[in-house]
Structure 1
Amino acid sequence: MSTTVDRPVITGIGVAAPTGLGTGAHWSATVAGATGIAGITRFAAEGYPVRLAGEVPGFVPEEHVPSRLLPQTDHMTRLALFAADEALKDSGLDLTTVSEYGAGIASASSMGGFEFGQRELQNLWDKGGRFVSAYQSFAWFYAVNTGQISIRHGLKGPCSAVVADQAGGLDAVGHARRQIRKGTRVMLAGGVDGALCPLGLVGQIASGRLSTESRPERAYLPFDEAASGHVPGEGGAYVVLEDPASARLRGAHVYGELAGYAATFDPDPGAPAADGLERAARAALADAGREPAEVAVVFADAAGTPAADRAEAAALAAVFGPRGVPVAAPKAQTGRLYAGGAALDLVSALLTLRDGAIPPTVNVTAVAEDCPVDLVLGGSRPITGDAALVLARGEGGFNVAVVVTTARTTR
C-alpha cells in the first residue's frame, strides 16, 4: 500500500484529442457526448476498407510549434509538443526554479512518426537517397516525443519512452511515479499517438480489429451487442506529476493524487488462465489502499471487439460484481488512440472526480448480455465518490491499472 508521501499529485493537464484541441474543449465535448469520429481527411481513404477516424480538429502546426521544429517533426510529435506545453503551462510551474536534473519526462508512443516516415520512403523510391530528409533518422522513432519535448523544455532529469500499445500511456505514468519516489521533483508523463496515413492505416487494418462500418455513429460500440471493432484515432494527453511537498510549497492547484498503479503481463506463468486485467485492477486497488466499493467509476479499456469486451466485462464483474460499478468508455467519441488513449482516459477520470459527473458512452444502444457492465449511457451521471480506476490493455499481453483520487493530505 502506498503512503501519502509516496503519492505524487497531478498539477497540470494537456490534451490534443479528436474531442477538442486543449483540455477545456475536450472535456466540454466529452461531457456533452459529442463525437470526434468522422471521415478521414488527412489523406484520400476512398480505396481502403476503413474510412473513419478520430482526427484532432483545428490544429494548425505553425500556431503551436516553433518554426525550426516543423521540418523535423511528424504530425504526431507536433500534437505531443502541444499537449506537453499545455500541461506545463497549466501546472503554473516555473521550470527555472527546479534544479537542473529535477524535472523529467516519461512518454509513450506505439507507432512513432509513420506519416513522416512514409513521406521520406516515397522520396527514396521516387527520387533517390539525396532527397530523403536527414531528420528521418529520428522523426519516425518511438522515442521521438520524449526527445523533442525534453529538449524544448530543458527537462534534464529522468527521461524514458514506453512502447506497450494502449497500455503505454498509463505505464508512462507509472514510470514517472517511480522517479518521483526516487526524489525527482517533477515529471511530465503520458502519451500521444497517431498514424492516420496510408502506411499507418494498412498496418492497423492488418490487425483485424478495426471496424469497417461506414456510419460514424455505428462504427465503435464498446460492450454493445453490435460491436465490430474500433476506429483508429490520433492524439492523447500529458499530465504533470509533482512531489506533493513541492506542490504544497508553491501553492499549486492539484487535480488529484496518483494513488495506485499496477501492471501485469499475459499469460501469468503461475496461473495461465488468470485474467491479467483483473490482476492489474486488484493490484492497483491494493496499492492505493482502496476497496472495490470505494471506486466511483471505471474508465474501461473498451476494445470494441466482442471477445475483448467480454473478457473485460468478466474481469470487472470479478472485482466489483456484475454491474457493480459505473463504467465509462469515452473512446467511443475519439476512436482508439493507442498510447494516447489511456492517457486521455486518465485526464477524463481526473476531470470526472473534479466535476462529479461521469461522461456518457455515446452510440451504444444495447449492451451485450454477456457483458455485465453498468455502462453510463444517455447522458452524464453524477458521482459522489473520490476514486476512479483507469484500465488499459495493450496488444501483446500488456495490462495496466491506475487509481486516481481527489487530493488530500491524510488517508
Structure 2
Amino acid sequence: MNATATDPAQQLVISGWAVSSPYGLGRRPFAEGLLGKAAATAPLDAGRWPVPYAEAGLIPDFDIKAVLGRKGTRSMDRATGIAVITVGELLQDYGQGLAADPEKTGLVLGTSGSVQSIMDFTKDALTGEKPYLVDPARFPNTVMNCPTGQSAIRHTLKGPNVTVSGGSATGLLALNYASRLLRGGHATALLAGAAEEFSVQRARLEHVADHGGAGADPLGEGAALFLLESGAAARDGGRPVLATVLGSRFRAFPETGRAGEALARCIADVLADAGAAPVDLALVAPGTPPGQLGKQERSALDGLAGERIAVRPLVGDATAASAAFQLAAVLALAGADPALVDRLALVTALDRDGTVGATLLRLG
C-alpha cells in the first residue's frame, strides 16, 4: 500500500497534537517524561488489578467522571473515556475555527476495542437470571467503533467517522487513512490517532500471547491524536506546521523471519518517493517489539542515520496506541530542539499478526 504526495499543493501537515499517557494527561508531562527518559511503568495494586503482571503503564489517577463530569459518562468504559478526553484536549488547544464547518471536520481513530467491555457484557448475558436482563447502556461499549462515535458526538465532529484496527501499526494506519480521506476531498481537517486501555481481560490475553519467544513487556495505555490538514488550511487557521506528512508505506509478511525484509522495503520505498536517502534521517522512532520481531526491526533499520527514540521501554506495550505514541514522541522531541526544523523523521511499526509500516515526516 502506498500513500505519498509529491505535489506540494497536496501535502498534508500535522498542525496540532494531544496525548494522554502513563506520564499524565497532556503534552507537557509526556514531553518532560520522554525527554528525561523516565520510566512511566509502576507497580500495580493487585487488589484492583488481579492480573499476571507486576507493573504497567497506567494513566495516573485516571477518573473519567472527574475529567468529563457525570453527564453522559455513567456507562462509559475506559477505552472510550481515554479517547473522548484526548480528542477534547486537541480541540481545546488547536480547534479554533474548525467549528465553523463541523461537517468537514472528522475523526479517524485506531483502537483494539475494549476486550473488558466485550467479556463483561457476555458474562452478564450468560450468568444473569435471564440472558436479556443485561444493562443495554453498556452494549455500545462492546462495538469497536464506540470510542470513535462517542468522541465525535461529545465534541460535535460531523465529518467522516472511521475506526481502524491493526495492532501495533494502528496509529500509522489511521494517519494514512485520514490522509486518503483529505486528498479525496471528504473533509478539510481530520483528527487522526489511536487509543488503548489497560484492563484485566486485556492483560490476561496479552500474557498468554506469542511474543516471539520473549517474555511479555509491561502493558501501557493512553491515546495520541493529531490534527491533519493541508498546509494552507493550517496557515489560514493560525495553526503551526509541526510536521509535513511525506508518505507512508505498508506491507504484510507471512512469517516472522520475513518481517525485517518487508519493513526494509517499506522504508526504502517511502524514502525514494520523497527523494530522500537513509543518511538524511534525523530521528527514527521504532516500535521496539520484543523477541524475534524486535530483531527483525533492528535489521531493517541497520544503516539508517538519525537518533533513535525508544518509547515502548518507557511507557509499556500500548498495542493499538503504540505507533501513535511514537509519532507523539517525534513531535515532542522536535518541539524541544530547533535544530530539527526541516529535518526528516521516520516512524516504524511491526505487528505480530503480519503488518509492517513506515511513515516519513518533515519536521517544522
TM-score normalised by length of structure 2: 0.90
Per mean C-alpha deviation after superposition, the further-off stretch among 163-172 and 398-407 is 398-407
> Compared with structure 1, are the counterparts of its residues 37 and 155 closer, same or farther at alpha carbon in structure 2 (3 Å cutoff)?
same
Tell me how far 1:44 sits from its aligned partner: 4.3
The residue number in structure 1 matching 2:120 is 119
Distance 1:275 1:249 in 2: 42
Is 1:51 aligned with 2:37?
no
Q: Does 1:314 align with 2:299?
A: yes
**Higher percent of residues as helix:** 2
Q: Counterpart amino acid of 2:44?
A: I
1:7-48 per-position Cα deviation (integer Å, ceiling 9, x unaligned): 2111221111112211111111111121111122385456x5
The match for 2:199 is 196
Q: Aligned with 2:9: secondary structure?
A: coil
Name the CA shift for 1:210/1:194 in 2 (closer, same or farther; >3 Å): farther
2:99 is matched with 96
Helix, strand or coil at the partner of 1:107: strand
CA contact (8 A) 1:11 1:90 kept: no
Distance change >3 Å, CA 79–CA 42, structure 1 → 2 = farther
- Which amino acid is 2:267 matched to? A
Render the CA deviation track for 1:236-265: whole Å, top value 9, x for unaligned.
211111121111112212222112211111
Check conservation: 1:196, 1:234, Cα contact below 8 A: no
Q: CA deviation at 1:228?
A: 4.1
CA distance in 2, matches of 1:64, 1:286: 45
Rounded Cα–Cα distance in structure 1 between residues aligned with 2:280 and 2:260: 24
Q: 1:237 to 1:43 in 2, by over 3 A?
A: farther
Task: String of CA shifts for 1:376-411, please: whole Å, max 9, x gaps.
Answer: xxxxxx86871110111122111111112224xxxx
The one-letter code sitting in structure 1 at the alignment partner of 2:277 is E
Report SS of the residue matched to 2:241: coil
Residue 367 of structure 1 is matched in structure 2 by: none
Gaps in structure 2 of 5+ consecutive residues: none
Q: What residue in structure 1 maps to residue 262 of structure 2?
A: 276
Is 1:41 aligned to residue 45 of structure 2?
yes
Asked if the contact 1:13/1:240 (under 8 Å) is kept, the reply is: yes
What's 1:401 paired with? 358
Query: 2: distance between equivalents of 1:280 and 1:145?
Result: 30
1:391 matched residue in structure 2 = 348
1:288 to 274, 278, 297: 274
1:163 partner amino acid: S
1:69 to 53, 59, 72: 72
Q: Is the 8 A contact 1:170 1:342 kept in 2?
A: yes
Tell me, yes or no, if structure 1 residue 329 matches structure 2 residue 310.
Answer: yes
Cα distance change of structure 1 residues 204 and 43 upon mapping to structure 2, 3 Å threshold? farther
2:160 is aligned to 158
Do the aligned residues in 2 keep the contact of 1:296 with 1:384 (CA within 8 Å)?
no
CA contact (8 A) 1:387 1:404 kept: yes
Aligned residue runs from structure 1 range 14-33, under 5 A: 14-33=18-37
Cα separation, 2, equivalents of 1:44 and 1:105: 33
What letter is aligned with 1:311? Answer: Q
Give RMSD over aligned pairs. Answer: 2.4
For 1:347 and 1:389, the matched residues in 2 are separated by 12
Q: Pick closer, same or farther for the CA change 1:194–1:403 going to 2, 3 Å.
A: same
Mapped partners of 2:160, 2:240: distance in 1: 24
One-letter code aligned to 2:192: A
Taking the aligned partners of 1:11 and 1:114, their CA distance within structure 2 comes to 32
| Corresponding residue of 1:343 | 324
Task: Sort the Cα spacing of 1:44 and 1:251 in 2 relative to 1 into closer, same or farther, 3 A.
Answer: closer
Alignment-mate amino acid for residue 238 of structure 2: G
* Structure 1, unaligned runs of 5 or more: 212-226, 358-381
The amino acid across from 1:83 in the alignment is T
Shift of 1:325: 3.3
Deviation for aligned residue 1:102? 0.9
Which amino acid in structure 1 is aligned with residue 231 of structure 2? P
Which residue in 1 is equivalent to 2:230? 243
AA aligned to 2:210 is G
- Mapped to 2, the partners of 1:311 and 1:45 lie a distance apart of 33
Task: Quote the residue 1:9 is aligned against.
Answer: 13
Q: What is the TM-score when the length of structure 1 is the normalising length?
A: 0.80
Distance (Å, rounded) in 1 between the aligned partners of 2:47 and 2:183 = 44
Which range moved further: 396-405 or 166-175?
396-405
Separation in 1 of the partners of 2:313 and 2:178? Answer: 28
Which residue of structure 2 lines up, in the alignment, with residue 368 of structure 1? none
1:284 Cα deviation from its structure 2 partner: 2.3
| Residues 174 and 194 of structure 1: CA distance in aligned 2, closer, same or farther (over 3 Å) | same
Separation in 1, partners of 2:11, 2:177: 13
Q: Which residue of 2 aligns with 1:260?
A: 247
Partner deviation per Cα, 1:45-95 (whole Å, 9 max, x = no partner)? 56x542221111132211322523312321111011111111122214333
Q: Which amino acid aligns with 1:123?
A: D
Distance 2:178 2:184 in 1: 10
Q: What secondary structure, in the 3-state scheme, does the structure 1 residue paired with 2:219 have?
A: coil
Cα deviation per residue 1:218-249 (whole Å; 9 max; x = unaligned)? xxxxxxxxx74422111121111112111111
Letter in 1 for 2:62: F
